[in-house]
Amino acid sequence: MTETGLFFGSFNPVHIGHMAIANYIAEYSSLKEIWFVVSPHNPLKNKESLLKDRDRLYMTELAIGDDPRFRVSDIEFTLPRPSYTIDTLSHLVEKNPSRTFTLIMGEDNLTTIHKWKNAEMLVRQYPIFVYPRLYPGTGTNEQAKEIISHASVTMTDAPVMEISGTFIRSAIKEGRDVSWFVPSPVWKYIREMHFYE
C-alpha cells in the first residue's frame, strides 16, 4: 500500500508557503507522496475572488513541475458541489485500492473540524498530519475536542508559513511586486493572464 498525503486547498494562488509545507512533510514524515487536491469551492470559504478551477489547477501544476513527490488532483472538479472531504476520500479510496490516504491540514482547521460533514467518521477512518499556524484559531470548542479525541493526529514541526493567498491577491491588486511569494512559473502565468489585478 502506498501512503499518500492529501493536501486540500483552493490554491488561489498556490504559493511558496504551500510548497514549503509539502516539501517538509515529504522529507520529515512517512508520507513520500503528496497530492495537491485543488478544491472548486470550500463550503466554509467565500467564493468571491476565486479564479476558475482550471487556472488554479494549472498554476499548481506549474508550481510542482516534475517533482516526483508531488501530484495535482482535480478529483473534486467531477464531484457534486460544494466539495466535502469525506465524499472526496470515499471516491479516492474506491478508485485507488492500493493506496492509504492521510489528510494534511493547518492547525487552524482543528478548531473548526466539528463543522465538517461527517467529521466523526472522517477522523476515525483517516489519519491527519497537522502543520502549525501562527494563529491557530480562537480555541477548540467541546464538540471539536470530542471529535479530535478519536482522531489519529500527528503534529508536525513544519516551519510556520504565514503567507496567504489573500495577501498575495491584495498585493497584486495594489500593483506590488510579490514575485518571491509564488513559484517563478506561477508568477509568470499570473502576470501574463493579469490575474488578481
| pLDDT tens-place string over residues 145-176 | 888 888 899 999 999 988 999 999 999 999 99
Q: Is 186 exposed, middle or buried (0-12, 13-18, 19+ CB in 10 A)?
A: buried
Nine cell digits for residue 49: 475572488
Which of the 8 DSSP states describes residue 118?
A: T
Percent above pLDDT 70 for the chain: 93
What's residue 28's pLDDT? 96
Q: pLDDT of 4-30, one tens digit each? A: 999 999 999 999 999 999 999 999 999
- Every domain of the chain and the residues it spans: 2-160
Judge if pTM exceeds 0.75.
yes
CATH architecture of the domain 2-160 equals 3-Layer(aba) Sandwich (3.40)
Residue spans of beta strands (DSSP E) within the chain: 2-9, 33-38, 70-73, 99-106, 128-131, 153-155
CA distance 108 to 28: 21
